[in-house]
Amino acid sequence: MERYEEQLLEQWQADGPQRKGYRQLAEWFNTLMLRREMDRAGLSTLGDEAESKYERLRSDEAVAEEVASELANAGVPIERLRSDFVSYGVIRTHLKECLSADVDLSSGDWERDAIEISTDHATTKIEAAVRSLRNKGRLSAGGDVSVSVTAELECENCHARVPVDRAIRREYVCRCDD
Ligand SMILES: [Zn+2]
């Protein structure tokens, strides 16, 4: 992972919408590994080819197996690759433990962390529930379904609602007391 540490760190510490969370960093890193193996096997990685393959590897089991055998047939060591894929927990631990010397984890950062970790957990749980409902035929969609979880904050005085990350970024929920 060492070669990519700088890029991981850069994206992790970026400001505003450029900032990637652990989950997005894990996706970025895993897609990078997949692209490298696809390149080695001589497959096209133009456009979003690797991204879309990675997404499908992470979707329904049937879809994932289809993509996996397609890649295996093309010479991509897919089983090894899949066991090398990292979770957001690995990225989090890695950034904290291995890079702590370079990272400013001063007071205040645990709050963003707590929000991100619980949002990731919620997303994972909902994804599993949605997958199960789809398998049981109780939820239908024309394509792959992705889940996004956003916690919102609301001022009980003026009822302004804002996503928690935006509120933290701009440092206010509302200004109804101005
Ligand atoms: Zn208000």
CB proximity list for 83: less than 8 A, separation 6 or greater:
none
Q: What is the CB neighbour count within 10 angstroms for residue 120?
A: 20
Q: What is the pLDDT of residues 4-41, one digit of tens each?
A: 777 887 787 777 777 788 888 899 999 999 999 999 99
Cα 143 to Cα 131, 134, 136, distances in angstroms: 12, 11, 16
Q: pLDDT at residue 101 above 60?
A: no
Centroid of ligand 1 to alpha carbon of 173 (angstroms): 7
Q: Is the pTM of this model over 0.75?
A: no
For residues 12 and 22, give the distance between their C-alpha atoms in angstroms, rounded to a whole number: 8
Centroid of ligand 1 to alpha carbon of 115 (angstroms): 22
Q: What is the pLDDT of residues 45-96, one digit of tens each?
A: 888 899 999 999 988 888 899 999 999 999 999 999 998 898 888 888 877 7
Centroid of ligand 1 to alpha carbon of 154 (angstroms): 8
Centroid of ligand 1 to alpha carbon of 167 (angstroms): 12
Helix (H, G, I), strand (E, B) or coil at 153: strand
